[in-house]
Amino acid sequence: MEVRFSIFVFALLLSVPLVKGISVWEGLINKPIYYVNIEGYSLTGVPPWNPFNDSSITWVNIGYKYNETHTFNKYYEGGKWKEGFFPKHGNPKPFNITDWNLSKVLKEYQWGIKNYLSNITGKFPAGEWKKGYWNSSIARWNAVITSNQVKITLNTFACEGSGECDEYITFECHRNDDNVTCTWGKPVFKMYPGRPPMGTSPQTTEKNKTCGPALLVGLALLPALLERRTNGKR
């Protein structure tokens, strides 16, 4: 199977504004935290060097303890910090960001970016990973911080937006009181043979599929056809 670069991802990356850098910690306030969610897109294929303060960050959501049904949230989107109240899900454990030894987390993450990702090689169902692939082919990434876990997931260009496969690698840290342990996972490639590409209907077949320009022409003529049909019934 040839893994194709997604036009959807290319267009999305072009729309991401270029900024000097976003610090997640700009959204910190003096309240217990339930979670920190971060998402970013790489314009160069290079993973973020500091996923907590990086120019590729496009979205941040920090959920703070508020009451039994809602969280108070500071979130970053569209280039601005905002705030609001979100429904509370489950029974998350509150924590303070200082509970984490984030210096150690960042040090081990950066060690892996430099020494682990750059040297990954091996075969997988759709081909072969060459040396240097995993530190030059990242499209989307996300990070999650909770009371006992930090997880960073790096997704490649190959499958992003296609819906036909997933290709990613993870970095995870776990905390037990003051003890923090971190590990890099092995690269993952998953194919979904029965899943149609994004933007297509599961019932679509070669016989009834409408493609490209024909679809656009059909959509353009639809109002006129509906008007003629309506006038014909009067």
Residue 70 domain flag = yes
**Has residue 16 got a pLDDT over 90?**
no
Residue 128 domain flag = yes
Please give the residue range of the domain that contains residue 126: 7-191
Residue 148 domain flag = yes
* Alpha carbon distance, N-terminus to C-terminus of the chain: 55
> Which pTM does this prediction carry?
0.76
Q: How many domains does the chain have?
A: 1
Note the pLDDT tens digit of each residue in 154-164: 999 998 877 88
Q: Which residue has the higher pLDDT, 49 or 213?
A: 49
Note the pLDDT tens digit of each residue in 201-228: 544 434 343 344 444 434 443 444 334 3
Residue 21 domain flag = yes
